[in-house]
Chain A
Amino acid sequence: MPQGIQLGDAKAAEIKAVSIGKTFGAFRALKDLSLDIGRGEFLTLLGPSGSGKTTFLMILAGFTAPSEGRLMMDGKDITDVPAEDRSYGMVFQGYALFPHLNVEQNIAFPLKVRGRSSADIKRRVGEMIERVGLVGHEKKLPTKLSGGQQQRVALARALAFEPSVLLLDEPFSALDKNLREMMQEEVKRLHQETGTTFVFVTHDQSEALALSSRVAIFNHGELLQVGRPQDVYERPANRFVAEFLGEINLLPLGALRLDGDKAAGQFEDRTIVLSQTGPQIGPNAVAAVRPEHMTIAATQQNPDHNAIACRIEDATYLGAVTKYHLKTRTGTSIAVSMPTAATTGFAHRSDVWVSWPTEQGFLLPQQG
Chain B
Amino acid sequence: MTGKSAVPRTILLLAPLLLFLGLAYVVPFLGVIRWSVTLPEPGLGQYRAVLTDPLVQSVFIRTLRICLIVTAAALVMAYAIAYVWVRGTPTQRMLAEFCILVPFWISVLTRAFGWLALLSNRGLINTWLQAAGIISEPLALARNEFGVIVGMTHFLIPFAVFPIASAMRSIDERVLLAARGMGASRSRIFWSVFVPLTYGGLIGAALIVFVFALGFFVTPAILGGGRSVMVAELVYLRIFQSPDWGLGAAISVVLVIFIGILLALMRRFIKPAHLVG
A residues with a Cβ closer than 8 A to B are: 8, 61-63, 83-90, 92-94, 96-100, 109-110, 113-114, 157, 161
B residues less than 8 Å from A84 (CB atoms): 180-185
Closest residue on chain B to residue A167 by CB atoms: B181
Partner of A113, one of B175, B184, B197: B184
Identify which of residues 167-203 in chain B touch chain A, using a CB-to-CB cut-off of 8 Å. 172, 174-175, 177-185, 188, 192-193, 196-197, 199
Partner of A8, one of B177, B179, B183, B184: B183
Known: A62-B181, A83-B181, A84-B183. 11 other contacts (CB 8 A): A61-B181, A83-B177, A94-B172, A96-B172, A96-B177, A97-B175, A98-B175, A99-B172, A99-B197, A100-B193, A161-B182
Contact B183 A114, beta carbon cutoff 8 Å: yes
Complex CA distance for A85 and B183, rounded to whole angstroms: 6
Q: B86: shortest Cβ distance to chain A, in Å?
A: 17
Q: Count chain B CB atoms within 10 A of each CB in A85, A88, A94, A110 and give the residue with the most.
A: A110
A residues less than 8 Å from B181 (CB atoms): 61-63, 83-84, 86-90
Identify which of residues 199-238 in chain B touch chain A, using a CB-to-CB cut-off of 8 Å. 199
Contact B180 A99, beta carbon cutoff 8 Å: no
B residues less than 8 Å from A99 (CB atoms): 172, 175, 197
Q: B169: shortest Cβ distance to chain A, in Å?
A: 15
Q: B90: shortest Cβ distance to chain A, in Å?
A: 15
Complex CA distance for A161 and B197, rounded to whole angstroms: 24
Contact B196 A113, beta carbon cutoff 8 Å: no
Chief secondary structure at chain B's binding surface: helix
Sample of 29 A–B contacts (CB below 8 Å): A61-B181, A62-B181, A63-B180, A63-B181, A83-B177, A84-B180, A84-B184, A84-B185, A85-B183, A87-B182, A89-B182, A90-B181, A92-B174, A94-B172, A96-B174, A96-B175, A97-B175, A97-B178, A98-B179, A98-B193, A99-B197, A100-B197, A100-B199, A109-B182, A109-B184, A110-B182, A110-B183, A110-B184, A113-B182
Closest residue on chain B to residue A1 by CB atoms: B183
A residues less than 8 Å from B193 (CB atoms): 98, 100
A residues less than 8 Å from B197 (CB atoms): 99-100
B residues less than 8 Å from A61 (CB atoms): 181
User: Closest 6 interchain pairs by CB?
Assistant: A110-B182, A96-B174, A96-B178, A90-B181, A87-B183, A100-B196
- Asked, given contacts A96-B172, A100-B197, whether A113 binds B177 with beta carbons under 8 Å apart, the answer is no
A residues less than 8 Å from B185 (CB atoms): 84, 113
Complex CA distance for A205 and B129, rounded to whole angstroms: 73
A residues less than 8 Å from B179 (CB atoms): 98, 109
Closest residue on chain A to residue B182 by CB atoms: A110
Partner of A63, one of B177, B183, B188: B177
Q: A266: shortest Cβ distance to chain B, in Å?
A: 55
Closest residue on chain B to residue A106 by CB atoms: B178
B residues less than 8 Å from A86 (CB atoms): 181
B residues less than 8 Å from A62 (CB atoms): 181
Q: A141: shortest Cβ distance to chain B, in Å?
A: 12
Complex CA distance for A110 and B197, rounded to whole angstroms: 18
Closest residue on chain B to residue A7 by CB atoms: B183
A residues less than 8 Å from B180 (CB atoms): 63, 83-84
Contact B178 A92, beta carbon cutoff 8 Å: yes
A residues less than 8 Å from B182 (CB atoms): 84, 87, 89-90, 109-110, 113, 157, 161
